[in-house]
Structure 1
Amino acid sequence: MELAERMGELTQLRSMLSTCLAGEGGVALVTGAVACGKTSLMHVFARDVKESGALFLHASASRAEQLLPLGVVGQLLHSAPLSASQSQRSTRLIAECVTERPGQGTETLEQQHARVIHEFCTLLLDLTAQGPLVVGIDDVQYADRLSLQFLSSLTRRLAAKPILLVLNEWAVLEPALDSFRAELLSHSHCRRIRLGPLSPAGVAELLADHADTWPSSPPHTACAAISGGNPLLIRALLEDHARVAGRISAKAPAGPVVADAFREAVLVCVHRCGPDVLEGAQGLAVLGDAGTPALLARLLDIEPPQADHVVEVLTMAGLLADGHFRHPAARAAVLDNIAGKDRTRLHRRAAELLYQEGAQATTVAAHLITCNQTDAPWTVPVLREAAEQALLEDQVEQAVKLLKLAQRNCADPRLRAAVTTLLAEVEWRLNPSAAARLLPELITAVRNGLMAADVTAPVGLLLWNGELAHASDALNQLYATVDRSDSQAVTDLHVLRLWAGCSYPELLRRAPEPSGFPHPDDSLSEAATTDMRLRALTAFTTVLRQDNPAEAVTAAEQVLQSCHLGHAVMDPVIPALLALTYADRLDKAAPWCDALLAEARSRHAPAWRAMLAVVRAEIALRQGDPEAAERHARSALGAISDRSWGVGLGAPLGILLQAMTSLGRHAEAEELTRAAPPEVFQTRWGMLYLYARGRYHLAVNRLQAGLSDLTTCGELLAAWDMDLPGFVPWRADAARIQLRLGNVRQARRLAEEQLTRPLTRGSRSHGIALRTLAACSELKQRPHLLRKAAEELQEQGDRLELAETLTDLSEAHYALGESDRARMMARRAWHVATECRTDALRDRLSVCLAEEDTEPLIDTAGVTALSDAERRVATLAAKGHTNREIARKLYITVSTVEQHLTRAYRKLDVRSRVDLPVWLQPSGAATT
């Protein structure tokens, strides 16, 4: 359809043509936004005029010829059927106007110009002798001054003449047009026709002509929303869609495609509206969502009514809705079209205005980032506030940009130190090695006493990067300069000491707390309940220092329920997780760690993802799942570089080394034994690595090397007051080495020492120690000790240690000549070892299982007497699951599990879960 939704306007023009044909003149002033269809309407109407027999003269004004005197009149007469004398007369009259001065007023004309215009009117009126005359002029707003005066003069003369003037104008800022328009509209024979944007129905009408581009029902509603009903923009959307659909072999995209043609059409619209509207569009594009006519006026230094008119024109053109660009691509097209210097100037001015208006820091900062200038004093605090808001929304890269810009031009030393500290912490979240480049500046800031806030962050970063000497110097400097009445600063220092005591004990020896420094008991009681870092580190310290673990577990869970991952090195989440892990509450630690890992992935926090993966690997190791431990450890090492790990590298390396050893992959483990840098061994993570290396040496029979690593590990832990078997049960492995060396007495002493350590009874480390003690005991005593060890290990969920213990128990029974019990224990050990995928254990068990018969040790009558619930619980228990795991799998309480097991023991005539047969589960039953 050539004229979508314009038939009403065409009907009005046809009515005026009929009046003209009847001998009465008139004027039609067709007003509309740029590219709204005025020219198309003129073309269709011109055909009607020619079919009616009337003469049609056409001219088109342009900005380029606006200073050419009588340029529009010349076009009209050039196309008119003039006689030779009339043509010569026309040429002479135009030549007389070459002296037209552009700056001359529009209300008064020189006498010669008035005469020339009168003669031109006479020439045109003479043409009516040949029949009715229709004069069509496009873009009359760009007509030169004398041509406008000619049209005004002609309008005054055509009431009784068969002449129809059809003038198309844009709704643009042309002050010179105001008096001309006012005079036209004052005549009774002048009619104004307004062309508005197409409605959704009109858009659908236009799209119907392009069914080949959108074969399915065209999305006219979406096109109307994007284009504002502007036909030029709609056709551009069609072009973009056709171009993209032609490149895609599959079915064409269902919705509108906004691409190059649309962006070009947007630029055509704003440029054709004139320089004032173009500048206004650029201003609105720079202001974005914050743009208002009042702010636009201030940005461009124009009068408010002019700004209102700019918004009105762009709205009529379909580019704006409610004062803002309808589509991001339209705004981007205008923004990209602004010259570099002008764009910088506009963004800088926009930042100033928005700051004065009290706009949000993120809005102001976006302009500062674009103009890349922060020399005004107010800009640095704004950028810092915007960065903190970006961090809350997990826009970490944006926060880094904002902080780097703030740091670059910050003149205030204290403010720069605060910005640099925050930048280092944020970069640490993304890439700890990138944060290390800021350490020299942070060290200087601490030495100069410039750390008014975040006093401990530089020390934490120094420690993470193994700079123990610099960290101790910085801590001593903080003690000397910090305001002791500042409760937050004192709390931060206490948090730092707790964290260092857990992870970098050497720091406290090098930088002891000065006498008279406020103590937590008398100055931090409130902080102890509100500061999550303090609560988490207190819980972690409690577990490592062998105090009350129940309170620590409760505190750790409260922290995890209250916190999300932050961006600081000393975040409360990790110590809270480790408190649960080292307190043997793996049933609580594992789900929390999994949830936090998912959060770290979704929030693009590589450093946190790496550290959480390490914690998860350690949990898997303690659950007796070396394959999962390997997977998580490798994930941790892949998340960030070895350099980014700093001294924390000892943790993933140690856990991976221990997993490889348990899986019997000794060649891979050997490569890891030389991977840790020396600085690691002054940290908690270094102890994990030393312990793992000692276990590896034991596995490959390098007994002296293993004993050296384990003994060194124990000595350091004792010196740091961290010698807790729940953390590193080094004595059990050292005892096994002593046994292989023939030192039974030393082996027994080490095993008994581990059994008597605080918080050991009823724990995973207690079960490990009982197994070790059994190896040091006489053969007759071993089954009893190993049964107790198996009970505790199964209850704590360490399946690998359980499989080892059951294997030892099977071998003890075999040595005592109890072949039936030996085979039953071997079957159980084989089942658990298969789940753990430990080939070395299965090789040990193959001797006993080679002679296995099919007769059960337990009377089948007892098995058939079990209820379905008792059988399900007993089956899971026989497979090595803890009571908590069974409760979770079967959706029952732990108490119910214990009751079912008690009845199952009685019916099967066994003393404990260690004696349960692995073939309890009926064929095809689902228990997991």
Structure 2
Amino acid sequence: MIGQLLHSGTPSHDEAERHKRLLVHAVSTVEPPAFLPPPGRGGADVRARRELANIFFERAQSAPLIIGVDDAHYMDQHSLECLLFLIRRLRSSRILLVLNESSRVPQGYQWFQAEVSRQPFTRIMRMNPLSRRDVFRMIAATLGEAHADQYAGIWHHISGGSPLLMRALLEDQQAAALDPLLEAPPGPAFHQAVSNCLHRCGDAVLAVAQGLAVLADGDPTSAVEEILGESHATVAQCVDVLNSAGLLEGTGFRHKATRSAVLDTLSPGERSRLHADAARQLHTLGASAVAQARHLIAGDPVSEPWVTETLLEAADQAVDEGRVYLAADCLRLAQEGCTDERMLATVKAALVHVEWQLDPAVAGRYLPELTRAVWQDKLAVPAVLSVVSQLVWSGDIEQAKEVFDAVERGEIGTQLPEAGHEEALTLTHAWMCCAFPELLGRLSPAEGARPRNTTGMAALALSSVLKGEADGTLVTEAEEVLQRSRLDGRSLGPAAAALAALVLSGRLRTAAHWCDALLQEATERNAPMWRALLLATRAHVDMRWGMLDAAERSAQVALDIAPPGGWGVLLGLPLASLVSAMVAKGRCREAEKYLRVPVPAAMFQTPFGLDYLQARAQYFAAVGQTSAALGDLHRCGELMDKWHLELPALVPWRVRAAELSLEMGRVQESRDQAEEQLARLRPEEYRARGMALRVLAATSAPEQRLPLLRESAELLVKSGDCYEQARTMTALKRMCQELGWLEQARKLESRIAELSSKYGFVPPAEAPEREDPLTAPVAASLPPAPSLAPSHTDHELVRDLTEAELRVAVLAAQRHTNTQIAKTLFITVSTVEQHLTRVYRKLRVSNRADLSLELLLRSVDHP
């Protein structure tokens, strides 16, 4: 170092030769040359160093001299001794010596540091990191104050106040401004600055930084000590240096770009080795299985007995935490290193369960092998039931029944038995019956006390709904299951069963609320297949409400997430919604594209097949293939009769068939079908009842049509189905036109246009393929009827009613007496009369006979 200082002064040739000789003798104990004084205390090297110091003093005589030494802690021993000789004599000279040293210095430098610090004219200055205000000024000077306001806070945190890293961030920002393809900082300059900083800090600091980068934030730092073989004191000192350098905050990196830059200082082989070592050390320290698994996945193979069990445990934890992709990686690695046949079967069963959440088509590849493992009794009951669910999904119901029966008889699933799996068996059976209703006869009625855990409650709710025995309590318990469930590996089965029970029982508003809540959770937990299923369910609910745009959007996204090949027998769920929505919107050619998608034959043994057949019938009817449409609808009826499935509101095929029969001129047949549908419906099944009443009105005598259409409209308003409301309103509008009630017809037409515009369907009278048979003109011989309301009544006035007034008005419009209304609403007759008085005044009508049509015109939107 002294030689570099002497050379920086551009000496003459003679001076350079003299410097060279002095430098040689400054590190030597041989006899000095003749021009040096005789040896004294310390030997010839001391005299040589004195002469070297005199050279600097001579230079300072002509002008002040500044000597700067960067990274002084790296100086060689002889230079330190020479420099110390100079320092002790600086008081009487015009020399300023500036030494830049690290806060962490090697032992060989500490004696020099102590000698310098004790000199009276020495000043020690510690360089603190830049403050946030300093960073603001630095950015403002380069990029302007607007950028400083935007970036000062975040860049101060990323850089830790390091000028080196701040300059790199500024360079990255300037490059990004010139090239729009470049990302905003941190970028390449920051990456390089981190690398430079680490290499300047020394090998020990670099190694600790690499160890921390390989270990995730939250892993114990003691693992770094074990991996590197360093003492706690050494690692702690290196961590302090990294904090001072602005790279760490505590033991965690300030930014992911910093950690990435540190990892890039390792070769792939070094990184893999460190990950493997980290896994071993974390296992020794008792870290979480997920922490160990992350390193096992990234590192060299670790062939030790604890690895498979650790990966299985990690996969289970990852599923519970919503990290499905990590769970799949854990199980794939466990599969590769497992040699025990039974353990391997367990791993594959778990892998199929996880793979299904990502892509059911991939999970299906393992099914034949897993089925063999089931019959060889290599799996415990939960894993066997998971295989049963996969068999049902793929449509292999016969083998699913055989496996399930064998489990019930105790013939398989005996390995690693688990207590309390009876409810899981019940839930699996309920799911089998939901997918394949032909099994419904095997469902035994619930006996004894109702279960209180979510699995048992969900199974009971679903099976009761399927058998047509659901009551209000069971549906309430289904909602309680959803309130108590998270969308994880253990509760997703009960949650899905409870949601299905709500949909099948017609509790669509409640089902929609929980569907949206679960959908948000599935999105947050990155579970693609669950998200696709929930979107398909939401599309089904939206179709039942006539919200065609929303239904099409949800069903399309569901098929984008999971292509048709992975849906199994549930493919009919999104396809039916898409086809029905497009037909109702007048886009039959697009609907045909989805009808060409291959579907599994087993789908037609499921309720999803019923939805698909009904949607296809709508398409056939729209394009004029009435016979084909009736064939599909009658097939729905045959299947439901075969299954003894008492859910006429689920697929109201008789109403659709009655409409087509009417179109073909078979009036009596149409009437019979509508009446049979009404006879099978429960009072609360508003949607199907309203649709049937509309058909019945079209087959009735002219004087009977108006009350039937009024009731149909009122029921459809209650159901929330905007599309079917519009169809009934269209029939009412035509009737009003025939009767000469033009004001009422215009109001109905306005409401129809409002609904069709809001929910994305073609108004029934404007459907391009064919005219709706139920909107045909009423016979001219229809006798005049009393006016429904004064012509000046405006449907907007209904919105002025309070909730209490509206409830009373609806019941009054349905011809309930004041006493009946009071009992229904738990209020006094006097209160009813007061409400009605205000209703008449606000709606500008004179009596309850004028209320029905007005209430049909009120704005009813789905919440």
> Shorter-chain-normalised TM-score: which range?
0.7 to 0.9
- Native 8 Å contact 1:374 1:406 kept in 2: no
Tell me what 1:50 maps to. none
2:790 maps to amino acid? T
Of the three residues 357, 361, 366, the one matched with 1:433 is 361
Q: Deviations over 1:774-811 (max 9, x none)?
A: 55666666556555444434433344445545666777
Tell me what 2:817 maps to. none
Of the three residues 578, 603, 609, the one matched with 1:686 is 609
Of the three residues 331, 335, 342, the one matched with 2:263 is 335
Q: CA deviation at 1:586?
A: 3.2
Of the three residues 836, 852, 857, the one matched with 2:787 is 857
Aligned residues: 816
| Alpha-carbon distance in 1 for matches of 2:474, 2:234 | 68
Tell which deviates more after alignment, 329-338 or 291-300. Answer: 291-300
Q: CA deviation at 1:79?
A: 6.2
- Native 8 Å contact 2:454 2:481 kept in 1: no
Tell which deviates more after alignment, 676-685 or 775-784. Answer: 775-784
Q: Deviations over 1:233-268 (max 9, x none)?
A: 34334433443445579xx99xx9433333322222
Q: CA deviation at 1:300?
A: 1.0
Tell me what 2:573 maps to. 651
1:349 maps to amino acid? D
Is 1:795 aligned to 2:718, yes or no?
A: yes
Q: Deviations over 1:598-627 (max 9, x none)?
A: 554555444333333333333333334445
Tell me what 1:197 maps to. 128
Is 1:207 aligned to 2:138, yes or no?
A: yes
Tell me what 1:69 maps to. none
Give the SS at the match of 2:217.
helix
Tell me what 1:144 maps to. 76
Tell me what 1:722 maps to. 645
Instruction: Percent identity, please.
Output: 35
Give the SS at the match of 2:493.
coil
1:104-115 paired onto structure 2 within 5 Å: 115=43
Q: CA deviation at 1:764?
A: 3.0
Q: Residues 289 and 118 (structure 1 numbering): CA distance in 2 closer, same or farther, change over 3 Å?
A: same
| Alpha-carbon distance in 1 for matches of 2:501, 2:720 | 17
Q: Deviations over 1:255-292 (max 9, x none)?
A: x9433333322222221232223223322333353477
Greater relative CO, 1 or 2 (CA 8 Å, sep 6+): 1
Q: CA deviation at 1:552?
A: 3.5
Tell me what 1:504 maps to. 436
| Alpha-carbon distance in 2 for matches of 1:792, 1:202 | 68
Tell me what 1:344 maps to. 272
2:689 maps to amino acid? H
Q: CA deviation at 1:76?
A: 5.1
Q: CA deviation at 1:493?
A: 1.9
Q: Residues 776 and 372 (structure 1 numbering): CA distance in 2 closer, same or farther, change over 3 Å?
A: farther
Q: Deviations over 1:396-449 (max 9, x none)?
A: 434433443333334454444444344333333333323323333432432332
| Alpha-carbon distance in 1 for matches of 2:701, 2:861 | 41
| Alpha-carbon distance in 1 for matches of 2:606, 2:579 | 18
- Native 8 Å contact 1:297 1:307 kept in 2: yes
Is 1:235 aligned to 2:235, yes or no?
A: no
Give the SS at the match of 1:193.
coil
Tell me what 2:541 maps to. 619
2:211 maps to amino acid? G
Give the SS at the match of 1:289.
coil
Tell which deviates more after alignment, 726-735 or 588-597. Answer: 588-597
Give the SS at the match of 1:211.
helix
| Alpha-carbon distance in 1 for matches of 2:59, 2:803 | 108
Provide the TM-score with structure 2 as the length reference: 0.78
The alignment's C-alpha RMSD in Å is 5.2
| Alpha-carbon distance in 1 for matches of 2:86, 2:567 | 86
- Native 8 Å contact 1:732 1:754 kept in 2: yes
1:744-823 paired onto structure 2 within 5 Å: 750-757=673-680, 759=682, 763-773=686-696, 785-805=708-728, 819-820=738-739
Q: CA deviation at 1:467?
A: 3.4
Q: CA deviation at 1:204?
A: 5.8
Q: Residues 340 and 692 (structure 1 numbering): CA distance in 2 closer, same or farther, change over 3 Å?
A: closer
Of the three residues 609, 616, 630, the one matched with 2:531 is 609
- Native 8 Å contact 2:542 2:551 kept in 1: yes
Give the SS at the match of 2:124.
strand
| Alpha-carbon distance in 2 for matches of 1:759, 1:331 | 64
Is 1:465 aligned to 2:394, yes or no?
A: yes
Is the radius of gyration larger for structure 1 or structure 2? 1
Q: CA deviation at 1:501?
A: 0.4
Q: Residues 278 and 626 (structure 1 numbering): CA distance in 2 closer, same or farther, change over 3 Å?
A: closer
Q: CA deviation at 1:498?
A: 0.4
Q: Residues 603 and 125 (structure 1 numbering): CA distance in 2 closer, same or farther, change over 3 Å?
A: closer
1:276 maps to amino acid? A
Q: Residues 632 and 158 (structure 1 numbering): CA distance in 2 closer, same or farther, change over 3 Å?
A: closer
| Alpha-carbon distance in 1 for matches of 2:133, 2:853 | 83
- Native 8 Å contact 2:23 2:48 kept in 1: no
Q: Deviations over 1:643-672 (max 9, x none)?
A: 122221112222333344444554444555
Tell me what 1:493 maps to. 425
Give the SS at the match of 1:571.
helix
Q: CA deviation at 1:337?
A: 0.7
Q: Residues 552 and 445 (structure 1 numbering): CA distance in 2 closer, same or farther, change over 3 Å?
A: same
1:127-206 paired onto structure 2 within 5 Å: 127=55, 130=58, 137-148=69-80, 168-172=100-104, 174-178=106-110, 181=113, 184=115, 191=122, 193-198=124-129, 200=131, 203=134
Q: CA deviation at 1:306?
A: 2.5
- Native 8 Å contact 1:657 1:692 kept in 2: yes
2:607 maps to amino acid? R
Give the SS at the match of 2:421.
helix
Structure 1: any 5+ residue segments left out of the alignment? 1-60, 62-71, 101-110, 885-892
Tell which deviates more after alignment, 633-642 or 481-490. Answer: 481-490
| Alpha-carbon distance in 1 for matches of 2:254, 2:549 | 54
Q: Residues 82 and 740 (structure 1 numbering): CA distance in 2 closer, same or farther, change over 3 Å?
A: closer
- Native 8 Å contact 2:702 2:779 kept in 1: no
- Native 8 Å contact 1:863 1:908 kept in 2: no
Tell me what 2:236 maps to. 308
Q: Deviations over 1:499-533 (max 9, x none)?
A: 11011235789xx89xxxx99747xx67x32124x
- Native 8 Å contact 2:320 2:489 kept in 1: no
Q: CA deviation at 1:371?
A: 1.7
Tell me what 1:712 maps to. 635
- Native 8 Å contact 1:650 1:688 kept in 2: yes
| Alpha-carbon distance in 1 for matches of 2:498, 2:192 | 57
Tell me what 2:35 maps to. none
Q: Residues 726 and 487 (structure 1 numbering): CA distance in 2 closer, same or farther, change over 3 Å?
A: farther
Give the SS at the match of 1:456.
helix
Q: Residues 173 and 782 (structure 1 numbering): CA distance in 2 closer, same or farther, change over 3 Å?
A: same
Q: Residues 257 and 720 (structure 1 numbering): CA distance in 2 closer, same or farther, change over 3 Å?
A: same
Of the three residues 204, 225, 228, the one matched with 1:276 is 204
Q: CA deviation at 1:714?
A: 1.9
Q: Residues 144 and 788 (structure 1 numbering): CA distance in 2 closer, same or farther, change over 3 Å?
A: closer
Tell me what 1:638 maps to. 560
Q: Deviations over 1:692-713 (max 9, x none)?
A: 3344445555454334323322
1:692 maps to amino acid? A
- Native 8 Å contact 1:782 1:809 kept in 2: no
Is 1:588 aligned to 2:510, yes or no?
A: yes
- Native 8 Å contact 1:494 1:520 kept in 2: no
- Native 8 Å contact 2:80 2:112 kept in 1: yes
Tell me what 1:30 maps to. none
